[in-house]
């Protein structure tokens, strides 16, 4: 039976991040993607030009429509820009007793546009993180959520432990923004600490990496893998998606969610 994975996030008109990236990653990792749209962004590979938050009643109506008809095996959240959206989404997911929740605490776009209002960080910590199965901050998000500077492995571990205090069951501190020869992600759980190294790939085409990674993680969790194995599978997938990143647009191109289909397409142009 195909796992059904819901993404609750914003739209990227450039197609490389947000809802669009999530659905591609979910399908590429063996799931079926459903969506609840929270915000609309005018965005490309260079800039987020504008953003509009959908009314809460529309967000809630989408949530009801999805849960009323589908068996949801996992949920991931992305852009939840305001305190009211965070609180509404958290309430809806708690009411539906979602067990596999991956929270990607999206805060700032690659171009520097704030996707999470400053006053929404407290709501995220108080209302959403406490019942997340996994939280996936990058270095800067981990610093904001933990209150400490993250420069290496020891800092990542301490930041993860502090974020665990919110009540979530696991934290994956991503190492893409940490200066190192390799790109190492750090999984912190009450059971211990584990690192996931990968080659650092020199490329500009990394738009939507965090969205893609968290969506893949939610899918492997929906497929029944334990967190440690789900991280390994998702890490392998996103590394290859970055390695095959698409040089399109004039800024940071997107990862290639379906790189493994390119050779097949070349063999059969029809």
d(CA 131, CA 93): 9
- Token look-up 């940490």 returns 178
Cα dihedral 171, 17, 12, 15 in deg (nearest 10) = -160
CA atoms of 223 and 230, how far apart (whole Å)? 9
- Quote the CA–CA distance of 40 and 19 in Å, as a whole number: 10
Contact by Cβ (8 Å): 194, 168: no
Q: Give the side-chain half-sphere CA count within 13 A for 249.
A: 20
Catalytic residue, candidates 10, 78, 210, 253: 210
Q: Is 206 noted as a catalytic residue in this protein? A: yes
Tokens standing for residue 70: 């589908």
Catalytic site includes residue 175:
no
Alpha helices in 17-55 (DSSP H): 18-28
Torsion of CA 178, 24, 134, 110, to 10 degrees: 30
User: The tokens of 244 are what?
Assistant: 């095959």
Given 208, 219, 235, 255, the catalytic residue: 208
Beta partners for residue 42, in sequence order = 50
Q: Is 30 marked active-site?
A: no
| Nearest partner of 170 among 229, 90, 120, judged by Cα | 229
Please identify which of the residues 38, 45, 189, 211 carries the catalytic annotation. Answer: 211
The residue from 24, 76, 110, 174 that is catalytic is: 174
Based on the residue annotation, tell me whether 174 is a catalytic residue of this protein. Answer: yes
CB 211 within 8 A of CB 17: yes
Is position 219 annotated as part of the catalytic site?
Answer: no
Catalytic residue among 136, 209, 219, 255: 209
Euclidean distance between CA atoms 82 and 124, whole angstroms: 9
Rounded to the nearest 5°, which phi and psi values hold at 38? Answer: -105, -35
Catalytic residue among 206, 219, 239, 255: 206
31 is catalytic: no
Active site residues per annotation: 174, 206, 208-211
């Amino acid at each position: 039976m195909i796992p059904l994975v819901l993404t609750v996030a914003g739209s990227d008109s450039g197609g490389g991040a947000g809802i669009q990236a999530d659905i591609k990653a979910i399908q590429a990792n063996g799931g079926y993607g459903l969506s609840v749209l929270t915000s609309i962004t005018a965005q490309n590979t260079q800039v987020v030009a504008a953003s509009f938050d959908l009314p809460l009643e529309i967000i809630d109506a989408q949530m009801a429509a999805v849960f009323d008809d589908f068996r949801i095996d996992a949920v991931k959240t992305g852009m939840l820009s305001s305190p009211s959206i965070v609180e509404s989404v958290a309430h809806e997911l708690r009411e539906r007793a979602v067990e596999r929740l991956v929270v990607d605490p999206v805060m700032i776009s690659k171009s520097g546009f704030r996707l999470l209002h400053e006053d929404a960080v407290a709501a995220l910590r108080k209302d959403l993180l406490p019942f997340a199965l996994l939280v996936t901050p990058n270095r800067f998000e981990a610093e904001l959520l933990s209150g400490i500077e993250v420069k290496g492995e020891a800092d990542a571990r301490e930041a993860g432990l502090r974020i665990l205090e919110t009540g979530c069951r696991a934290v994956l501190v991503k190492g893409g923004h940490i200066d190192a020869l390799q790109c190492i992600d750090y999984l912190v759980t009450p059971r211990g600490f584990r690192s996931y190294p990968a080659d650092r790939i020199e490329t500009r085409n990394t738009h939507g990496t965090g969205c893609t990674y968290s969506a893949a993680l939610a899918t492997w969790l929906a497929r029944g893998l334990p967190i440690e194995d789900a991280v390994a599978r998702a890490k392998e997938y996103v590394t290859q998606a970055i390695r095959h990143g698409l040089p399109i647009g004039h800024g940071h191109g997107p990862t290639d969610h379906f790189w493994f289909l390119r050779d097949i397409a070349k063999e059969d142009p029809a």
